[in-house]
Amino acid sequence: MTLDDVVSIIEHGETSKVQFKLKITSPDALAAEYCAFANSQGGILLVGVEDASGAVKGLSKEEIRKTNTLLSNVAQNNVNPPVMIMTDILMINKKAIIVVEIQEGLAKPYMDNKGIAWVKNGPDKRKVTDRLEFARLLQQGRNLFADEMPVQEASIDEIDKDLLDIYFLKTFESSVDEFSALNKITYNMLIKNLHLLSGHFLNLAGLLLFGKNPQHYKPVFIIKAVSFFGNDITNTEYRDSEDIAGNLAQQFKNGIAFIMRNIRKIQKDQHFNSIGVPEISRIALEELLQNALIHRDYFKNAPVRILIFDNRIEIISPGKLPNNLTVENIILGNTVIRNNIITSFASKLLPYRGLGTGIRRALKKEKDLQLHNDTDGDQFIVTIPRPLLID
């Protein structure tokens, strides 16, 4: 980080990624700052800069020596797991400050010596007290997956055996009963070996993939689809609206059906008597919708949304991109699997290929689609422009 970078940062003041400290004397307070940065999006700590005004006061040589020792010791001994920091000393108007860079952590949650996890809250920080928020930190640290969590009261009887047979015929060329008899394995053990049970109950993957009525237990895990008049989400008038429930395969099928009945068919290069082709590539729509269903954050109690406007379609998936994944990463085919079990079954239940190529296939068909990782709203938004209708 250059001197000009730091001067510009100071001029703009504290943010969720920038913190000023005139001096540091408390190991506990420093540990909390480290945890908050590591559990959030990382950031920098500028020591020798006044909190309130942003005035550069600087540090003496002795203060620099003591502070550097404290910075290093706290990072290793007062944070669990330890955090990696990078420090530098810069001179601004002949006054020395310490620049401390803390990266977003890969082993979340980070906690202080009292077992408290902290996250950034604007320029401040706060304790993590909500159980679901803590679970999501575990998920980001790849220590917990939402689709592995048991769904209370959802017994093995909730599985739709007809749907399970479809999966087995595609995968093993035999029904569930035939497979069980051939391999001398009980039905319950078979379901357990498929990783669809967690203890005595179906886990979330088992419920969403093969449940008879998933919304009886998880009513919010649906698709909310609306086709609006105009281009404004605040419009109270709509052409079509549907809450799309069922297992993931049913949601996908009916979600695509909703979109197809609410978009136009255009002639393109086809002859006059042709029924036309969809104004937006069906392949692109399928790739984007199944990605929203498979890779969404199931720790977030919210539906997938399909919003159709006159000038665009938006597919909104709950949860920002996991870990350090960026829009640029996924365009290049990089991926972080958020729901391991659901993903492993998807290729047999949906037209899903995996391998991180879905977004690239969608972009090949719809070059103007836009991807937005909305970190503030904690959601991922895909926007597909619609062709202008010329009268």
Query: In terms of DSSP bridges, do strands 223-228 and 304-308 run parallel, antiparallel, or are they unpaired?
Result: parallel
- What does the alpha-carbon distance between residue 234 and residue 349 come to, in Å, rounded to a whole number? 35
- Per DSSP (E only), the strands in the chain are 18-21, 43-47, 79-80, 85-92, 95-102, 111-112, 118-121, 124-127, 197-198, 201-202, 223-228, 238-244, 265-266, 277-278, 304-308, 312-318, 370-374, 379-385
Query: In terms of DSSP bridges, do strands 85-92 and 18-21 run parallel, antiparallel, or are they unpaired?
Result: unpaired
183 token code pair: 């391999």
Nearest-Å Rg of the Cα atoms of the chain is 26
Residue 211, C-beta contacts closer than 8 angstroms, at least 6 positions apart: 154, 158, 159, 160, 202, 217, 247
> How many Cα atoms sit within 13 Å of 158 on the Cβ side?
26
Residue 106, C-beta contacts closer than 8 angstroms, at least 6 positions apart: 141, 142, 323, 324
Q: May I ask the CATH architecture of the domain 223-385?
A: 2-Layer Sandwich (3.30)
| CATH T-level fold of 3-143 | 3.30.950
Paired with 333 in beta bridges are none
Contact by Cβ (8 Å): 305, 225: yes
Q: How far is CA 61 from the centre of its chain?
A: 44
Contact by Cβ (8 Å): 59, 97: yes
Eight-state DSSP code of residue 211: B
Taking residue 291's Cβ as centre, other Cβ atoms within 10 Å add up to 21
The DSSP element (H or E) to which 330 belongs, if any, is helix 327-331
Low-confidence ranges of the chain (pLDDT < 50): 390-391
Which pLDDT tens digit goes with each residue over 326-360?
888 888 877 778 888 998 888 888 876 665 678 88
348 token code pair: 């047999």
Contact by Cβ (8 Å): 165, 175: yes
Per-residue pLDDT at 360: 86
Query: In terms of DSSP bridges, do strands 43-47 and 370-374 run parallel, antiparallel, or are they unpaired?
Result: unpaired
69 token code pair: 């020792």
Per-residue pLDDT at 225: 97
Per-residue pLDDT at 143: 63
Eight-state DSSP code of residue 156: G
Determine the angle formed by the axes of helices 358-365 and 282-295, rounding to 10 degrees: 150
DSSP H helical segments within 78-186, as ranges? 131-140, 161-172, 176-183
> How many Cα atoms sit within 13 Å of 103 on the Cβ side?
10
Do 3-143 and 223-385 share a fold?
A: no
Paired with 98 in beta bridges are 47, 89
Contact by Cβ (8 Å): 57, 48: yes
Q: How far is CA 380 from the centre of its chain?
A: 7
pTM for the full predicted model: 0.68
Domain boundaries, the chain: 3-143, 147-213, 223-385
Per-residue pLDDT at 78: 93
Per-residue pLDDT at 105: 86
Determine the angle formed by the axes of helices 282-295 and 340-349, rounding to 10 degrees: 150
Per-residue pLDDT at 391: 44
* Burial bucket for residue 173 (CB in 10 Å: 0-12, 13-18, 19+): exposed
